[in-house]
Every structure is written in C-alpha cells, then in structure tokens.
Structure 1
C-alpha cells in the first residue's frame, strides 16, 4: 500500500475515534471506532518495528517486533488494572498468549506453507521456547492449585514472589539468547530485507505509533465494559478474544509478512516470543504495577484460562519442536483456536 494512502487511512481512523470518544454518547460507536483505530495503529507500529529490526539484526529485531507488538496489550491491560477490571485483565492476558501461539503463528505457518512446501528454522531455539512455555504454565498453575488452601493475603504474597521470579527468568533469557548464546540460537538462513525508512525515522515512527496506541487504548477501555454488558458477552470472552485479537494486529501484520517472504524463523520468533513475553514479563509486571496503584491483583487464573493456555502450549510445542513447518500444521493451530474461541463464547 502506498505510504501516503496508508497514513491517510491511519489519520482518518484516529480522527473518527477521537470524534466518537469526545463528541458522542454511543458506546458501540466509540468501541467500534477505537477498535478500528487500534488495528490501523498496530499495523503502523508493526511496520515501524520491522523497519527498526532491519538495522538491529534478526535476534534483536524479533525481540523488538514482539515487544512493541505487545505494546497495545500491555497498555490496554494497564488501563484495565487501573479500573479494577482484573477478570478482564487476566482474560486479555490469556487471549494474547493463545492468540499469538494459535492465531498469529497458525496463519503465518498456513499462508507461508501455501507458498513454500516446507519452511525451517532453528530447532534449538524451538527447544528453549518449549522449556520457557512449560515454566510459564507451571507458574500459572501453582497459585490456582494452592488458592483454596491459602488465605487471600498469602495468595497475594505468592503472586508477587512468582511475578518477580518470572521477570528475572525472562531477563536472564534475554541475556542468554541475545548475548552469551546469540550465535547458537541464530536463524538457519540470513535474509535480506529493506527498511521502510532510515534508522532515525524508523525510531521516530516507532515512538509516535506507540504513543497513539496508548491514547486510543484508553478510549477503548472506557467503552468495552459497557459493550460487553449490553451484548451479554462475558468478560472472559471479551478479554480473551475481542481485545486480544485487536491487540494482536501488530503481530499479525509483521509475522504474516515475514512468513510469506520465507522467513518463518522470524515469524515464529514474533509469535512464540510474544506469547513468552506476555506470560513471563507482561503478566508479572501488571501484578507489580497493581500494587503501586493500590489495587493488588493476584496471578490466579480460572480453570478455563489455564486449560486454554495449556492446550495452546502443548500443540505449539508439538508443531514447532522439529524446526520445520508446513501449511497443514497451520490448519491444526487455527482449528484449536476456533475450538477455544467457541468454548469461551459459551462459557
């Protein structure tokens, strides 16, 4: 798409969302326009991170794509925590994790597989990702198991301890994967790519798009609760699928583009790396932030959420463990996502 046309569309969606937020009382219109603006802004953010990644290298580039791709989820979740909507926060975390592993990765593997019979990536990285996913599952399951045996105060303390441990583990993983064992975990093949802008402009675009994502995310949070109550949708479904799909737009745009260029390793890094970042860094950070806001949030997830994360993790490990993908494996990931979405809708 022509850049001038793209930014015209982004600007129009921003103006429409701003008009709806400040000058109308129709909550559905506010929600729809804010959601539309978030999607276009996420595409802008994804384009910016891809351009920055061109200058930063594959490993750092994948990390930046995952990090700034998660900006929408983190910002939306922050405002939900501020409003005390903890159930929706946890549902949005669940949705972001399974959405990246099943929807984003599934579409990337499927569409990339239609163009390339088989795509390969670093199997060692897949193995480490699997271990980190299992750590995330263990950390989320333990508080839920002990919840009935411990008083709320001790559950809160346990949540804080787990949050700190997960953040430390994630930071050590970054050092391991990007510093001490960077070459060991690098992609199998190097790929040439073109940056949309110069280094300075790319960083500026990244900063501006992130700022607007923050602004529009706050508008979205103000309307989402009213819309979910009116339509009779549970906070679980809204958080896990509606907000998560909107927030995943950046990952979609970046991962799909890379997979269709034959760079499945980078696409896997974005999708799986994003899920790991949410589970090991974003969720624990929100627990600590809630303490600072005076609204403590525990890390206890519902049985539905834990089952969804567990199922998504196991099938993702099964499909990525050999370091090769094809279009049918993408179908399997998407099938599980649709099954979970249907179950959450009726939950």
Structure 2
C-alpha cells in the first residue's frame, strides 16, 4: 500500500498553537500544578489523599491526549504498520511509568492489577468503542483474518503464562506462606518472563520485516467495508427485483445477473478503497514533536508518582477498594491516548490501524511490559511474580476468549462493539465489590 504523502512542516509558532488548541481537554492541564501543590502542602491522610488522587487523575488525562497527539504526528511520517506499533508503544508509556513507580514503592498488587486492567481496557473498552464508532458509518468493517488469528494466538500464550503460576500455586503441596514455594514461583516467573520477551522480539521481526505485507490495508484476506444502503437505493433495488420476477424464466440467464453475481459486483464497486490518497498536513515539526514527547513523559512520571502515593490513603477510607482503582480507574487514564486515536481512525475506515493500536497495545503489555516489569523487579530485588490474583486471571482468560470469538470472522459491526463495552461494564461492577485475595501475596511481599 503506498503511503500518503506528507506536507511541509509548519513553523514553530504554528506548532505551539496546535498544541494549545488541539482539544478542550487541555483545560485540565491546570490540574497539574494544583496536584503538585496539594502533594507538597497537605499532610497525607485519607481525606487529603483523596483530593490529591482526584487532581492527579484529572491531570494525567490531558497529558495522555498530548502524548497521543505527538504520537500521531510521528506516525504519519513512518507508515501505517510502524504507526500502529508506535501508537501502541507510546500509548503504553503512562501504564509503564505508573507500573515502574509502583514497583519502586513495592506496591506489587497495584502493579499487577493495573497491567491486567490495561489489557482488559484495550480489548473491551477501546476495541468495543472502535467497533461501535465505525459501525455508525459502516454496516460492516473488515480487517485481516491472518493477522487476527496471529493476535489471538499471542494473547492466548500471554494468558497461559499468567495462569500457570496460579495453577502451580494451587496444586503445590506446600503451604501458602512456605518460603520455598515462593522462591519456586519467583524462579518460574523469571524464566517465563524471559521467554515472553523473546516471543515479543520475534513478533516485532514478523510484523516489521518478514511478513510486513500481512499488515497492509490492501492485503487480499481483508474484507472490504460496506456502507449502509440509502433508503432510496433500497426502494429502487426492491422495484428492480419485483420487475425481474415478471421476466420469463427463459430470458433470465441472458438478461438478468444472478443474485450472487450482483452481490459480488456491488461489494467490489462499493468498496471505499479506490479513493485517491490526499496529502497529510502535519501540525508540528519533528523537533517540536520529540520535545513535546519528552516534556509530557516527564510530567506524567512526576504526576504518576503523586497518584500512586495517594492510592493507599484513598482506599483506606473504605469508600473504594484498591482493586477497582488499579484495575479500572488507572487503565482508563493510561489508555486515554489509545481511546482517542483508535476511535478516530475507525470512523475513517482505518480499522486495521485501530486494531493495531488496541489489540497491539494489549499484546505489547502482555508480552513486553509485564515480563519487563517482572525482570526489572528481579534486578531491583522486588519479589514481583506472575502469580496474579486468581479472579483477575480468570477474567483475563474469559476476556481473551470473547474477543477471539468476536474477531475470528474478520468483520465487525456496531453490535459487537456494544457487546464488548457492556462486558467491560459488567467487569467494572464486579470489581467494585471484589475485596481481593491478599493471602496469596503474603509470601511475595517486600
């Protein structure tokens, strides 16, 4: 697929103006200095930590949006396949920063829950919103079956890697707090993490080099998107069909195309992929884009530290539990970039890119971020393992199973999107009341 030409870079002032006016969400940037000031001036207590958490939570939302904006500017210069990888990678920057800070503070449960929650958010909320938003304009949207099957395999492997330590724990003869079992689980986790990192490296080679054409929009196994048929056209087709019934059967083979031929022709002619590519106009220069990425990353890192520090005080108040905060709230903030990017391009009939962002982000978290954090904890001397909360592991397994069923035909519609979003709401309601199983981490604490 030929890449769209990129126009000339704007001036520095035009780029700064684009950053300021990119979205009304930028109004929430005022929460950054407020959250910093509250963190340094207020003493840590249940009530004060709740206030700090709210402002830090709101402050990360516009930062995630700016991160998505800068990522899009870089993406238009590198091509669609690399653009999807770049969006997924930088879109996960918030989750990675939050996980590293929580790991350094030995908040192991928050690290695990936030990463599992990020996968759930991408697979159900982000992907569901993409299917639903695209379904408002298109009757059906298509994407690559081969790539979908590969993604399903990778997600399944990652879920198995999370389930095996839990199965090891429950089937072992040792007691829950036996230090020998804890040592074995850590050893298993470290070995599996290294293997997962190797799989992710192989996946990058497959995606970017050996099978790069599989990810092109014009690949033969991608179903063509079909738009809704206007009411006037439906009436004309109905009258035409009624008129064809009055024609003698003997003339049918010579004058009237068969239904299957007509349908096939309509799909080929109605395909929206024959449009001439227009020039893309960047809103920032490359140096300004890189500078914005660096500044936003620093602001996210500092604000995320205040956010993590305030979680304990927030959950100690008893109004909300730690599992809901780390599994639902934190991933929604961290995935704000993916939400905006993926939904926007799905409406433009670029569902392949949307899936590259949403599903690709989940694969990256499962095969790279989680094993990387486990390996980093190994280096830092933190007992972070792949022994996740059993209920979270089961929910993750069922989520991957549902997404595999929804995507296996290579087509999507608005109802499938609504199903995925509804399942996410069901999970959110469940975890609002779920207290967590703290006993499992008793032997794997700092």
TM-score range, shorter chain: over 0.9
Tell me by how many angstroms 1:48 deviates. Answer: 0.8
Tell me whether 1:256 sits opposite 2:286 in the alignment.
no
Tell me whether 1:165 sits opposite 2:252 in the alignment.
no
**CA deviation vs aligned residue, 1:93-148 (integer Å, no higher than 9, x gap):** 11001000000111111112112222212221111101101111111111111113
Paired residues, number: 347
Give runs of ≥4 in structure 1 deviating > 6 Å.
none
Q: Could you say which residue in structure 1 is the equivalent of 2:364?
A: 277
Which structure 1 segments of 5+ residues have no match? Answer: none
**CA deviation vs aligned residue, 1:228-268 (integer Å, no higher than 9, x gap):** 22134332221110111111111111111111222111111
| TM-score (norm: length of structure 2) | 0.74
**CA deviation vs aligned residue, 1:24-75 (integer Å, no higher than 9, x gap):** 3421221111111101100000111111110011111111111111111111
Counterpart contact for 1:100–1:274, Cα < 8 Å: yes
Cα distance between partner residues in 2 of 1:158 and 1:90 = 16
Tell me whether 1:67 sits opposite 2:85 in the alignment.
no
Q: Could you say which residue in structure 1 is the equivalent of 2:206?
A: 176
Given the superposition, is the C-alpha separation of residues 53 and 283 from structure 1 closer, same or farther in structure 2, using an over 3 Å criterion? Answer: same
Secondary structure, aligned partner of 1:183:
helix
Counterpart contact for 2:117–2:327, Cα < 8 Å: yes
Q: Could you say which residue in structure 2 is the equivalent of 1:301?
A: 388
Which stretch shifts more, 5-14 or 332-341? 5-14
Given the superposition, is the C-alpha separation of residues 3 and 81 from structure 1 closer, same or farther in structure 2, using an over 3 Å criterion? Answer: closer
Q: Could you say which residue in structure 2 is the equivalent of 1:199?
A: 286
Counterpart contact for 1:124–1:185, Cα < 8 Å: no
Which structure 2 segments of 5+ residues have no match? Answer: 1-16, 175-180, 219-272, 435-446
Q: Could you say which residue in structure 2 is the equivalent of 1:291?
A: 378
Counterpart contact for 1:129–1:272, Cα < 8 Å: yes
Counterpart contact for 2:63–2:296, Cα < 8 Å: yes
How do 1:308-319 and structure 2 match up within 5 A? 308-319=395-406
Secondary structure, aligned partner of 1:118:
strand
| TM-score (norm: length of structure 1) | 0.95
Secondary structure, aligned partner of 1:296:
coil
In our comparison, the structure showing a higher alpha carbon Rg is 2
Cα distance between partner residues in 2 of 1:268 and 1:314 = 17
Question: Aligned match of 2:113 in 84, 87, 91?
Answer: 91
Tell me by how many angstroms 1:9 deviates. Answer: 2.6
Q: Could you say which residue in structure 2 is the equivalent of 1:186?
A: 216
Tell me whether 1:155 sits opposite 2:242 in the alignment.
no
How do 1:1-347 and structure 2 match up within 5 A? 3-6=19-22, 9=27, 11-25=29-43, 26-148=48-170, 149=172, 151-188=181-218, 193-347=280-434
The structure in which a higher percent of residues are helix is 1
Cα distance between partner residues in 1 of 2:353 and 2:163 = 30
